[in-house]
Amino acid sequence: MEPAQPRNFREFWPFYVGEHLDARNRWLHFLGTSVALTCLLAAAISGRPGWLAAALVGGYALAWIGHFTIERNRPATFRYPLYSFLGDCKMFALILTGRMDREVARVRAERARES
């Protein structure tokens, strides 16, 4: 369920998680963020700005494929670009540390209590 207009990231986060319920979509995001970080590193090392464009394309393309083909929803980036970017970073960290599945379960349980 989309928040009317999130006032802060804390309000946005449950919505963000709800848009990423399928683990395959979350892993496409993780892969996309990994590609983006690798491209940013390549840009810093090589000094070639083309890597910055590759970071954007690589990062977002994989994530959007997950939304359009797996979740069948519209990426939150279109409505909430800053919060969505922060959500991608938080989800990347939670996947990296093995805690994202628990976060999905927590949000699902919270939604079930609300309905």
Q: Is residue 95 part of a domain?
A: yes
Contact 114, 43 (CB under 8 A): no
Q: Is residue 6 part of a domain?
A: no
Q: What per-residue confidence (pLDDT) applies to 23?
A: 98
Write out pLDDT tens, residues 4-46: 789 999 999 999 999 999 999 999 999 999 999 999 999 999 9
User: Per 3-state DSSP, what percentage of the chain is helix, strand, and coil (rounded to 5)?
Assistant: 80, 0, 20
CA–CA distance, 8 with 71 (Å, rounded to integer): 24
Q: Is residue 2 part of a domain?
A: no
What domain count does the chain have? 1
Kindly report the pTM of this predicted structure: 0.92
> For residue 48, what are the domain limits?
28-114
Measured in residues, the chain has a length of 115
Q: What per-residue confidence (pLDDT) applies to 91?
A: 98
Q: Is residue 73 part of a domain?
A: yes
Write out pLDDT tens, residues 48-94: 999 999 999 999 999 999 999 999 999 999 999 999 999 999 999 99
Q: Is residue 65 part of a domain?
A: yes
Q: Is residue 22 part of a domain?
A: no
Q: Is residue 104 part of a domain?
A: yes
pLDDT reading at 2 higher than 70: no
Q: Is residue 15 part of a domain?
A: no
